[in-house]
Amino acid sequence: MVTNNPFPKVSIILPTYNRANFIMRTIDSIRSQTYQNWELIIMDDGSDDNTEEIVRQINDERIQFYKAGRIGIGGKIKNLGLEKACGELISFIDSDDLWAETKIEKQVAALEQYPGAGFSLTGGYNFRKLNEPVDYFYKQREGMKYGNMFISFFSSELPGYTQALMLRKECTVLTGLFKEEGSFSDADFIAELAYHFKAVILYEPLLYRRLHDSNTSGAGWKRGYEEGIVLIQSYKKKLPPKVARDALFRLYMNFGEDCLLHKERATGIKKFFLGWKVRPFSIIPFKKTGKAILWKLKNN
């Protein structure tokens, strides 16, 4: 995977749908990068606001705008962008998120430093107000780690955000592209990269992920959990049994907790029970179930 080009071209794929209120800030964070050998491929998923008008006003030959029509499938939109990408390296960003100005430079340098790595992930944080982090992806916020990250991914030690990802385009020859069904295609894509290739993790927060009421990730929350369970099941034979069990257990516990937050207590209790079936000697599902029942009794 060694490249002879010290400044390889980076293709940035930006899917968007009705993000006129945010997309200019996102593009500004790309144009402000200290590393300048990039192309930005904007794939518009049938926006009916003035997203296109805003983008067309920008005078930068590196920016390409494509109208894909309304597809509504994140994996398919990204794949259309990948088909148009000319760079040796690929990055992704959502049209409401931001990058630190050194994000591309530091990931390119990391992949040059570790030629055996097929991809890189950075740290970051979620925010609602600019420069006011809600929570960070990692407790560690400096340094790097290189190696096989497949087990780490299923141990919840890596976030499944493609906005933090940079990969060598040649990796897709082995991994294939994004799955074009379901909302968990990003996590599945990163899991497949981690299964086949080593990675270099930069713990520094270089991605700023915006939270707001219209986040795509916030819609269909239940479907996301269900697809997460399918993802773990699909890699079950490739994982140590304990890692697979622990991953399923965590997902069921989180699923149940989210059900309680959405006032679906019966469903939440069912998810805690499924978690108990995965780890029958754990007392955690009983505690959470008891808490849910007591809450219901107090509020009847």
Of 139, 250, 235, 142, nearest to 193 by C-alpha is 235
Which regions of the chain carry the CATH code 1.25.40? 223-298
Measured CA distances, 198 to 35, 121, 145, 283, 290 (Å): 24, 11, 10, 36, 43
In the predicted model, what is the mean pLDDT of the chain? 92
pLDDT at 74: 87
74-90 pLDDT, tens digit each: 899 999 999 999 999 99
Of 37, 164, 33, nearest to 102 by C-alpha is 33
Fold of 223-298: 1.25.40
In the predicted structure, residue 274 carries a pLDDT above the cut 90:
yes
Q: What are the residue ranges of helices labelled H in the chain?
A: 23-31, 51-56, 74-84, 103-113, 150-154, 172-175, 185-196, 221-234, 241-261, 265-278, 284-298
CATH top-level class of 10-216: alpha beta
Residue 68 pLDDT class (50, 70, 90 cuts): confident
157-216 pLDDT, tens digit each: 888 899 999 999 999 999 999 988 765 689 899 999 999 999 999 999 999 999 977 654
Which regions of the chain carry the CATH code 3.90.550.10? 10-216
The percentage of residues in the chain with a pLDDT greater than 90, rounded to a whole number, is 78
d(CA 33, CA 38): 9
pLDDT at 219: 53
